[in-house]
Amino acid sequence: MKKLFVLICLLPCIQVASKAQNSKHTFALGDTVFLLDNKPFQLISGEIHCTRVPREYWRDRLKKAKAMGLNTIGTYVFWNALEPEEGKFDFKGNNDIAEFVKIASEEGLWVILRPSPYACAEWEFGGYPYWLLKDKTLKVRSKDPKFLNAYHDYIMQLGKQLSPYLITNGGNILMVQIENEYGSYSNDKEYLDINRKIFIEGGFNGLLFTCDGPSQMPAGYLPGFLPAVNGLDNPKEVKELINKYHNGKGPYYIAEWYPGWFDSWGSAHQTSNGDEDAKKLDTILSAGISINLYMFHGGTTRGFMNGANMSKNDPYSPQTSSYDYDAPLDEAGNPTAKYLKFRAVIEKHLPTGEKLPSIPSNNKTIAIDSIKLTKQFDLFSNLSQPVLAEHPLSFEDLGQAYGFVLYRTTIKNAINGELKITELRDFATIYLNGELVGTLDRRLKQNSILLNAPANAILDILVENNGRINYGTYLTDNRQGITENVTLNNTELVSWKMYKFPFQSMDKLKFSSIYKNTTFHASFYKGEFELTETGDTFLDMRGFGKGFVFLNGYNLGKYWYIGPQQTIYIPAGWLKKGNNEVIVFDELMGNHQKIKTLGQPVLNEVNK
């Protein structure tokens, strides 16, 4: 009887296992094409990052991907989102990458997974967690044992989440990328092979691949593994290049094809010609080449997670919070004219008898004429306990990832001269006895300002992390704040108090209903508003200076009057019927009384 009871209890498990086994597919590399269940399969993929899209909208965006004709989703995984502090992993909410992959499967989509812990992606530090920078001797993206140990631990945790979804285990993940554009950084094949071994140990037992730009492939590919190409759309060149580094064989995969581009603060909004893009897409698909559109849907880089570019020839350039990318699906997840053009092209290449699903309707939008900002929080009047040190400490030395640090010291003797901050990272507002005297912007290579200081003057330097560099050789030089020293007329200033403002939440702010004269003083402004209906909307930040916004506890991202982004997207799912709360931080302008929302974004206004 006991044996019979055990058998009855196990029967559902046996049935589930049998069903999984029966539904198991195979995915392999043919000489010229991918093979799904031993039949030719052309990847028509589009990139979406679940961290950039509100979880409430994952299914909506994936349905729209399917309706445009995509059969696959490409997605990066951001290490710094999943392990924000060393050893503390977070796979909840918008970080639930396994659930995102599962929903893709339910919507009939395959997945190309790109967790290669360096992502680039216009994301803070290219996806590396800030805490790797606490040790000045640690070198990311190298064979440094300290880096590899941290990397190994992360991939082991990620494998627990995602290896069950590999096609080799009955799931929908077809391939896994083990490094990302490594040829743009270095050429160490031993390092690449260590990546491969770590991924296999983590349970990623399916097909592995690398991707690089055309000129970078010789340095970035790993012999014996598929080398995909980025940024190339001439079929003849794609095939010749992959053949050269893959033993004369395919399949041919463009891992990143760019029908759009990202925006940087102070530069024009980037767009591409949809008609020309559609023709290129048609040519690529007609040649039998597999493709991943970067991006299909960009979404928004929330919080303080935007990255920045910098090279020997180009100055520091942080990216906007909007990651609209001029993609087929816009920042709010609505199909664009480009979407319709691409859908028409893909429809031509469908197998006989196959039809695309209808396009889901656009999301509802609302606009609010005026939200009164009735309470204020003056940053300088509400300082917590400082950290004391003889010399300024970086964010990393202070154990702070993102946000702001206020550096304070006293200038004992009256002096008139040049204040210089060596290696400022990245934007500073400078106050003398509470009065704003100037700003310094790393983008503009500014590091000094003239001061006329009376005796015993209090010098405040509020420093903002504008985004760590996400691409190129400067990855290894990414510490934030005042990273070296401050001098006044070539004499170093010492005895610093440092106040930490990571702004992970707004819970501890103590607002006052009495406005101070803060025309040029860093302050928070709070407003409440009632809604009888919800819908997507866009905060209109024109008239504000530089800062960020929280809504109902969500950090919506950054704004900066220089543009081109002048609005901040609010998804309907983050609004509530009834009472809502908005908190705006502005470090450059003050005395804000109200704010409004619009039914559409403003992404193309640049102010010098």
- The answer on 453 and 391 residing in a single domain is yes
- The answer on 517 and 493 residing in a single domain is no
Q: Residue 512: its pLDDT value, please? A: 86
- The answer on 534 and 415 residing in a single domain is no
Among residues 209, 127, 115, 93, which one has the least CA distance to residue 162?
Answer: 115
Separation of alpha carbons 585 and 462, rounded Å: 13
Q: Provide the β-strand partners of residue 28.
A: 35
- Evaluate whether residue 518 is within a structural domain: yes
Separation of alpha carbons 171 and 102, rounded Å: 9
Instruction: Report which residue type is found at 23.
Output: S
Of the residues 448, 482, 501, the one at which a domain ends: 501
- Evaluate whether residue 604 is within a structural domain: no
- Evaluate whether residue 360 is within a structural domain: no
- Evaluate whether residue 560 is within a structural domain: yes
pLDDT-flagged residues of the chain (< 70): 1-23, 516-520
- Evaluate whether residue 251 is within a structural domain: yes
Of the residues 466, 501, 536, the one at which a domain ends: 501
- The answer on 168 and 79 residing in a single domain is yes
- The answer on 327 and 245 residing in a single domain is yes
- The answer on 514 and 458 residing in a single domain is no
- Evaluate whether residue 181 is within a structural domain: yes
Q: Residue 26: its pLDDT value, please? A: 97
- Evaluate whether residue 6 is within a structural domain: no
- The answer on 332 and 448 residing in a single domain is no
Cβ–Cβ under 8 Å, residues 570 and 541:
no
pTM: 0.94
Total domains, the chain: 3
Cβ–Cβ under 8 Å, residues 369 and 305:
no
Range of the domain at 584: 371-377+509-598
Which amino acids are annotated catalytic? 181, 256
Separation of alpha carbons 535 and 367, rounded Å: 9
- The answer on 466 and 336 residing in a single domain is no
Residue-wise pLDDT tens digits, 188-205: 999 999 999 999 999 999
- The answer on 103 and 202 residing in a single domain is yes
- The answer on 191 and 97 residing in a single domain is yes
- The answer on 564 and 495 residing in a single domain is no
Q: Residue 139: its pLDDT value, please? A: 96
- Evaluate whether residue 354 is within a structural domain: no
- The answer on 555 and 458 residing in a single domain is no
DSSP string, 72-86: EEEEE--HHHH-SBT
Q: Residue 608: its pLDDT value, please? A: 82
Element (H, E) at 255: strand 253-257
CATH classification at residue 477? 2.60.120.260
Q: Residue 556: its pLDDT value, please? A: 98
